[in-house]
Amino acid sequence: QRRVSDEWALANIRVIHADVKREYGWPRMHQELLRRGIRIGKKRVRQLMQRHAIRAKDKRRFVATTDSKHALPVSPNLVQRQFNPDAPDQLWCGDITYLPTQEGWLYLAGVIDLFNRQIVGWSIKPHMQTSLVKDAMTMAYMRRQPAPGLIFHSDRGSQYCSREFQQTLSTWQIRSSMSRKGDCWDNA
């Protein structure tokens, strides 16, 4: 009697699991079974789900990509939310994002020409060190060879504020511009 009952409960759990696109763990699954008129205890739902490896999919974790709590010098905001240059290679911006993979996080740094929103440089690495943004900027610079005076706008992340990165910009006569702390509207 109990075996049939377990099989019937498990069949309903699997149907609900598919219906909700694997969003429910055992507590919400129990509530949904009760809502559908299936009387079953929490403990039994948990045991059935564990025994048959029915799990809620993992939620994507937020990964901070900006470390603005540092003592490095910060560049002034030269852009002031004017993100529409008149010609190519006048205003570039950069940012870092993360890519979840089965083997862990990868970090992508991109450089975009704001004239046409074209990606002009990028770099992917398993870390967020200065070399990530420096490699993206090097690719952009080597591909485009911009005239002196180009503005590069970014957030205040430690990678962009680092002496090594700022020295690279200075060598290429690129002016550094940074958004205000914690203001997403200052980022293109």
pTM summary value: 0.60
Q: Report d(CA 72, CA 76) in Å as an integer.
A: 13
**In the prediction, which pLDDT does 67 show?**
53
Fold classification of 91-186 is Nucleotidyltransferase; domain 5 (3.30.420)
- Name, in order, each residue with C-beta under 8 angstroms of 25's C-beta and a sequence gap of 6 or more: 49, 55, 56
Q: Is 109 exposed, middle or buried (0-12, 13-18, 19+ CB in 10 A)?
A: buried
Positions of E strands within the chain:
91-101, 104-113, 118-125, 151-154, 175-178
Backbone conformation region of residue 53, classed left if phi is above 0, alpha if psi is from -120 to 50, else beta = left
Query: Angle 178-182-183 (CA atoms, 0-180°, nearest 5)?
Result: 70
pLDDT tens figures, 54-93: 998 876 665 555 555 566 667 768 676 776 788 899 999 9
Contact 126, 107 (CB under 8 A): yes
Lowest mean pLDDT among 58-62, 95-99, 133-137: 58-62
Q: How confident is the model at residue 184 (pLDDT cuts 50, 70, 90)?
A: low
pLDDT tens figures, 165-175: 999 999 999 99
Instruction: Look up residue 24 and give its two tokens.
Output: 């429910």
**In the prediction, which pLDDT does 186 show?**
52
CA atoms within 13 A on the CB side of 23: 5
Q: Name the residue among 165, 167, 140 with its Cα closest to residue 155.
A: 165
Q: How confident is the model at residue 152 (pLDDT cuts 50, 70, 90)?
A: very high
**In the prediction, which pLDDT does 32 show?**
94
Contact 109, 94 (CB under 8 A): yes
